[in-house]
Amino acid sequence: MPWERTIVYEMHVKGFTQLHPLVPEADRGTFSGLAHSEIPGYLRSLGITSAELLPIHAFVDDSYLVDKGLRNYWGYNSMAFFAPEPRYLKTPFANEFKEMVNQFHAHGIEVILDVVYNHTAEGNELGPTLSFKGIDNASYYRLLPDQKRYYINDTGTGNTVNLSHPRVLQLAADSLRYWATEMRVDGFRFDLATILAREPYGFDEGGGFLDACRQDPVLSSVKLIAEPWDIGPGGYQVGQFPPGWAEWNDKFRDTVRAFWKGDDGTLADLAKRVSGSGDLFNKRGRRPWASVNFVTAHDGFNLNDLVSYNEKHNEANGEDNRDGHSNNHSWNCGAEGPTDDPEIMGLRERQKRNLLATMVLSHGTPMLLAGDEFGHTQKGNNNAYAQDNETTWLDWMGITANGRNLREFARKLIATRKAFPILYRSRFLVGSHNEELDVKDVTWLSPSGEEMTDEQWQDGNAKCFGMLLDGRAQETGIKRRGSDATMLLVYNAHHDIVNFTLPGVADGLSWLGLIDTNRPDARMAEFEFGHAYEVTGRSLLVFGLANDNVATRRLRQGLGALLDIADTPLSR
């Protein structure tokens, strides 16, 4: 799948199938469970292209969790880089994993593995000796230069794997090649990837590991995704990985959350994020897809809890609620946790739609967290790494009517993105001007329908703007493409209604309303230029230019046709 068309879905092997009614009970929680056609079929019906699995390398439970009667659920505690985790195997054979991959591929879904080469389960000097410590401790781990009994802890887990050593680097590279060639996976997401690029002197985009991936004929041809931070010196490196890599973009996450929460002074930053974060990635020939845009992930609040809780509620982790992030940019919309207040419930559903729509329709690579599409809740736990129970298992039988409606809306968003290439173009939006047509690739509009002024950009109270993507400005060589739609996206994080004047683009034409997060089921309607559209408080709108070329046929017919392509029935 080309990067530009990739839509990632982060999921957990056990959590996805443990309560799934269409998966036989004996198969639930295993690779065999994921291999049932209902699972990749479900992803295809949503429009997902790539399933990103939380760690499946063999790992062990931390002793301090075992003492508390808990388990390491996420799996970021790897010990064997060539072996699948036994608890995910129904059979004694690793071929079970390959059969799962084959099933996903048969449905057109890529498989990406979340891999952990930055540390191991052996911990610090007080931890167990399970493997590498006993083989060659000083080679496999980074040790304090003047006190070699102690470990450098750039990971926060006790030790740091020494990828500067040629044999350790070879181990990691051989492991990656094994999973790519023998197990046929399509890519990797690297946990705490800054460590992989850190040499003894610091982060180096030309370091040994990154160079090994870049020159390797196998690894250079699969998807490579970095989590570009750790807790070591110079650990935050978003935008600094070399061409060919994609990166998790936490600035997108935090800005989008803060904007829809209603924080002042976030409008200008949101414009950067929805247009591909060019301030971070537009260099050295990189493309907008390098920014993996996400609002939620396994670590932190999920979507439902992001709009339902102001504070984390991690008491079940046994750490007196001290663990997990406290700065979540979350907002409970008026009540902490579950409520039967219809006004609060309605606002929460709209906020979910706003967050999903912003993520899916922004330039870059969207990543959806499993369960967010139907409102799964972890009851306010934003660090559920040790919750191998109903807290994290997706409750397929408990999906509500609101959950089903949200899922259909997510499906519509993904179909919209796929229908209009202007939403995933391979060049950054920079306001470039087409002299012949007198149009820009992107124009930022105020609610008056006029181009934003410097004063408006600097207004900390401004919370509504439009992004006009003019398909007429796209060029290939000398002739412009006639198939790109012209689209207008309007973002309103004000609490109140804003009258947004729909701009004039070309004589004799009008706008078609495609999406309104306040009215998710509304039929497509036509609006004249200059129409003052009442944009509901905290809502997002999408319009397309109505004319008689190929783009218009996509607008009028493409959405329905695209939705029918993935006709696998959605399970409960």
Tens of pLDDT, residues 9-47: 999 999 999 999 999 999 999 999 999 999 999 999 999
Q: How far apart are CA 62 and CA 79, in angstroms?
A: 12
**Six-digit token pair at 58?**
């063999």
Residue 3 has pLDDT above 80, yes or no: yes
Q: How confident is the model at residue 572 (pLDDT cuts 50, 70, 90)?
A: very low
- Please tell me the predicted confidence (pLDDT) of residue 176: 98
pLDDT digits (tens, 9 = 90+) for 263-287: 999 999 999 999 999 999 999 999 9
- Please tell me the predicted confidence (pLDDT) of residue 548: 52
Task: Give the residue-averaged pLDDT of 130-155.
Answer: 96
Q: How far apart are CA 75 and CA 78, in angstroms?
A: 7
**Six-digit token pair at 268?**
């200008």
Residue from 112, 92, 114, 115 nearest 104 by CA: 112
pLDDT digits (tens, 9 = 90+) for 321-355: 999 999 999 999 999 999 999 999 999 999 999 99
110 φψ region: left (φ > 0), alpha (ψ -120 to 50), beta (else): beta
Q: Find out whether 329 and 258 touch, Cβ atoms under 8 Å.
A: yes
Q: How confident is the model at residue 437 (pLDDT cuts 50, 70, 90)?
A: low
Q: How confident is the model at residue 547 (pLDDT cuts 50, 70, 90)?
A: confident
pLDDT digits (tens, 9 = 90+) for 50-100: 999 999 999 999 999 999 999 999 999 999 999 999 999 999 999 999 999
Mean pLDDT (the chain) is 92
Task: Give the residue-averaged pLDDT of 437-454.
Answer: 91
Helix (H) or strand (E) holding 31: helix 31-35
- Please tell me the predicted confidence (pLDDT) of residue 559: 54
Q: How confident is the model at residue 567 (pLDDT cuts 50, 70, 90)?
A: very low
Catalytic choice (62, 85, 154, 191): 191
Residue 517 has pLDDT above 90, yes or no: yes
* Alpha helix segments (H runs only) across 143-224: 166-181, 193-196, 208-215
pLDDT digits (tens, 9 = 90+) for 462-501: 999 999 998 876 544 333 444 578 999 999 999 999 999 9
- Please tell me the predicted confidence (pLDDT) of residue 553: 61
Residue from 1, 51, 4 nearest 289 by CA: 4
Q: For this structure, is 191 an active site residue? A: yes
Residue 131 has pLDDT above 70, yes or no: yes
Q: How far apart are CA 4 and CA 118, in angstroms?
A: 28
- Please tell me the predicted confidence (pLDDT) of residue 478: 31
pLDDT digits (tens, 9 = 90+) for 360-390: 999 999 999 999 999 999 999 999 999 999 9
Between the alpha carbon of residue 486 and those of residues 124, 431, 525, the distances in Å are 56, 15, 16
DSSP 8-state secondary structure symbol assigned to residue 451? B
Task: Give the residue-averaged pLDDT of 402-431.
Answer: 93
Q: How far apart are CA 261 and CA 348, in angstroms?
A: 11
pLDDT digits (tens, 9 = 90+) for 143-188: 999 999 999 999 999 999 999 999 999 999 999 999 999 999 999 9
Q: How confident is the model at residue 400 (pLDDT cuts 50, 70, 90)?
A: very high
Percent of the chain with pLDDT over 90: 86
- Please tell me the predicted confidence (pLDDT) of residue 497: 97
Q: How far apart are CA 261 and CA 373, in angstroms?
A: 20
pLDDT digits (tens, 9 = 90+) for 194-243: 999 998 888 998 889 999 999 999 999 999 999 999 999 999 999 999 99
- Please tell me the predicted confidence (pLDDT) of residue 485: 85
In order of start, what are the domains of the chain with their CATH numbers?
1-58+81-116 (3.30.750), 427-565 (2.60.40.1180)
Q: For this structure, is 216 an active site residue? A: no
Q: Find out whether 147 and 222 touch, Cβ atoms under 8 Å.
A: no
Helices (H) and strands (E) in the chain, counts: 18, 26
Catalytic choice (52, 227, 305, 441): 227
Place of tokens 């879904």: 109
pLDDT digits (tens, 9 = 90+) for 292-327: 999 999 999 999 999 999 999 999 999 999 999 999
Q: What is the DSSP string of 72-92?
A: --S---EEEEEEE-GGG-SSS
- Please tell me the predicted confidence (pLDDT) of residue 483: 52
